[in-house]
Structure 1
Amino acid sequence: MSESKKYFQFGLTHNFACNYLPEQQERLVVVTNCEDITNENYQRLLMAGFRRSGNQVYRPHCIDCNSCESIRLPVYEFKPSKSQKRIISTNKDLTIKISLEADERYYDLYQRYINTVHQDGSMFPANKEQYKGFIFNELIDQLFIEIYHDKQLVSVAVCDNLPNSLSALYTFYDPELSKRSLGKFSILTQIQVAKSLNKNYLYLGYQIDDCQKMNYKKSYYPHERLIQDQWIRINKS
C-alpha cells in the first residue's frame, strides 16, 4: 500500500487515573494498527496532537478535561531568555555528540535518573524491560543526543527524527549534576540540533499548565500549542 493510501484505525481506552492531575481521570485515543507507522505519517499524527510511548501512539481524549496541549517550537524563530543564556554558559564545558544508535551505557544512566528523580512516578523503579518498551520503536528513525562531561556520559536526549521535525521523546541525565539544569540544557541543545538538520520544529509532547513538573516546556518562546485542533502561536509577553 502506498504512503498516500495508508490510513489509521483508532480505539478508545477506558478511564484511568491521570498521571499528571491526580483529581482527574484520563482517557486516550490510540492507534490500533501501529505496524503501519512510518516517519512521514507519524509526523502527520504529531501535527494532529498524537504522541508515542514505545510502539503505542496515542492522544488524550478525556471527558471533562482539556489540560493536555501539544506543544512545539519553531526552531528558527526561537530566542533564548537571559536565564537560558546562563544555562548555555554554565554548560559550555560539555561536549555534545549525536548517535543514530542507542548505546548500552544509556540504561545505567536512565536507571539512576528514574530511581533518584522520579521516585513518585509511574516508571519507578526502573527496569530494562520497561526502558526498552518505552524508548524504542523500530519503525521510526531515532537519534540520541549525548552530552559528556570530562568524557563521562551525563545526559541523553532521545528524539524521533522525522522529515520536518524532531520529536523529543525523553531525556535522562546524571542526577548528581542537577545544578547544571541538564534537562533545560537538553532542550536548548535539541533546538540547535534540529536547526543543524534543517528541521522546522521541535515537538515537546504535552504542556499541562496545572501540572508544576510539566511547566518547564512553556518557557521557550515563541512556541505553538494545539488548541481545539488549531496550532496557536504563543509569544513572550
Structure 2
Amino acid sequence: MTQSLRLFLSTEHACGYLPGLLARSAFVDPDAGLGAAHYQRLLELGFRRSGDHTYRPHCRECARCVPVRIDAQQFRADRSQRRCQRDNADLQMTIERRLTDEHYALYREYLQTRHAGGGMDPHDRKAFHAFLECSWLDVRFWCFRAAGKLLAVAVVDHLPQALSAVYTFFDPGARDRGLGTLAILEQIRIARVTGLDHVYLGYWVDGSRKMDYKRRYHPLEALQGVQWRELEEAAAAPK
C-alpha cells in the first residue's frame, strides 16, 4: 500500500476497558476507498475495523491497548483448549455470507444476558448490521449449531494473508461450552490449513480482565512500535 491516508481524531470519551480513564481513536478517512490489501496492511500497523470504519486507539496519556495476533502456523493448543475442542465435537460449523433474522435473534439474546447496560442496544437492527458488516471487505459469519440450533456466530474478516476475529456472540445458555474459545481455535485451524500466517485478535489491554483471555493463545505476537514481537518480550521491553 503506497497511498497516503488522512486520519481524523475522535473526541475523548470514557474508556470501555479501564475505569477512570479517557480514550480517543484515530480514524482512517471513510472516503479512502479501502479494500482487502489496504486493510491487511492497516492491521499490520495496529488498526482495527468497526463496520466500515477503521481506527486505532490514540489516547493522550495511555498506551495500554496493544494490537495482538496469533502465529497460526506455530500455534499449539494447551490442555484446556484441546478439551474445549473435544467437548464441542458434536457441533456443525457453516460459513455464511449474510446476516439473517436467526443471527439477529441470537445477538439480541446475547446482549440482553451478557452485556446488559453495556451501551449496545440489542433492539437496534440497523446498528447490528452497521457494527458487523463491511461494504468493502470480505466478511463471513462462522455459525456453530447443535442439532440445527444456532449456538454461536463468529464474525471473521477474510484477508489475503490472515483472518481477523471481529466479534463473537453466542447462546448464554451454552456458556459452559466455551464457544468463544472454540471460535478462535477454529479460525486458527482454518488459517493453518489454508496457509494463512496470522489470526488477528484486536487489542490486548494490560489490566483489563475481559481482554486477558487473549494471553492463552501461544505464540501471541504484540505490536511494539513498528515491529511484531512475542507478547511477553514486548511487555518486558522499556517503554
TM-score bucket of the superposed structures, by smaller chain: over 0.9
| 1:108 aligns to 2:105 (yes or no) | yes
Instruction: Give the counterpart of 2:29 among 29, 32, 40.
Output: 32
Identity percentage of aligned residues: 36
Tell me, yes or no, if the aligned pair for 1:94 and 1:148 is still in contact at 8 Å: yes
RMSD: 1.6
Tell me, yes or no, if the aligned pair for 1:114 and 1:126 is still in contact at 8 Å: no
What pairs up with 1:58-137 in 2 under 5 angstroms?
Answer: 58-137=55-134
Take 1:125 and 1:154, find their aligned partners in 2: how far apart are those partners?
17
Tell me, yes or no, if the aligned pair for 1:40 and 1:162 is still in contact at 8 Å: yes
Instruction: Give the counterpart of 1:164 among 161, 166, 176.
Output: 161
Take 1:113 and 1:32, find their aligned partners in 2: how far apart are those partners?
32
Name the SS of the counterpart of 1:131 in structure 2.
helix
Alpha-carbon deviations, 1:10-66, whole Å to 9, x = none?
A: 111221111111111001111113441100001100000000101111000111111
- The structural deviation recorded for 1:111 is 0.8
CA change 1:194–1:102 in 2 (3 A) is farther
Unaligned residue ranges in structure 1 (runs of 5+): none
What pairs up with 1:1-237 in 2 under 5 angstroms?
Answer: 6-234=3-231
Tell me, yes or no, if the aligned pair for 2:30 and 2:52 is still in contact at 8 Å: no
CA change 1:62–1:235 in 2 (3 A) is closer
CA change 1:226–1:34 in 2 (3 A) is farther
TM-score (norm 2): 0.92
Alpha-carbon deviations, 1:156-183, whole Å to 9, x = none?
A: 1011111000111100111100111111
Name the SS of the counterpart of 2:101 in structure 1.
coil
Unaligned residue ranges in structure 2 (runs of 5+): 234-239
Take 2:68 and 2:166, find their aligned partners in 1: how far apart are those partners?
13
- The structural deviation recorded for 1:122 is 2.1
- The aligned length equals 233
Take 2:112 and 2:96, find their aligned partners in 1: how far apart are those partners?
25
Tell me, yes or no, if the aligned pair for 1:140 and 1:160 is still in contact at 8 Å: yes
TM-score (norm 1): 0.93
Take 1:219 and 1:5, find their aligned partners in 2: how far apart are those partners?
35
